Amino acid sequence: MIIKKIFIANGPNLNFLGIRELEKYGSTTYTELIHTIESKASILNLEVEFFQSNNEGEMVDYIQMISQLNDAWLIFNPGAFTHTSISIRDALSIFSQNNKIVEVHISDINKREDFRKINLIKEFSEHSIIGQGVNGYLKALEYIDGE
């Protein structure tokens, strides 16, 4: 029996996991990440739905669409949108009124370039997992399962 449905959204360049900046993001590909998350979700009796976009407007549209729900969970790795997108921030503000967000960042954004220390979405996140590599997604699932 599926207990909870979890939405997982990934921002720009995350589709290039395992290809770009291996020293920061590791060698796990995006496809491998999805399979790993699906396996963990199955063990926890969670259902997952994935979305990835390199386009800000598409991400806003997706967040607005799932904002129609109540008591939903979003695991969100906004990538560079973390530091730049007020429109995504505003969409998350709406989403978080009736739903919860777990923010995930593969690298430790607090130990990187100064501009990456600006986090426009943190205030809407129920929980943040930063710098745990792709394992951060699994920790996010475990956090949600424990709620």
Q: Which of 35, 62, 83, 105 is catalytic?
A: 105
User: Which residues, listed in sequence order, are joined to residue 9 by a DSSP beta bridge?
Assistant: 51, 76
Q: Is 105 a catalytic residue?
A: yes
The 3-state secondary structure of the chain reads: CCCEEEEEEECCCHHHCCCCCHHHHCCCCHHHHHHHHHHHHHHCCEEEEEEECCCHHHHHHHHHHHCCCCCCEEEEECCCHHHHCHHHHHHHHHHCCCCEEEEEECCCHHHCCHHHHCCCCHHHCCEEEECCCCHHHHHHHHHHHHC
Q: Which of 25, 30, 62, 137 is catalytic?
A: 25
Q: Is 62 a catalytic residue?
A: no
What are 125's two structure tokens?
């996140």
Point out the residues that are catalytic.
25, 105
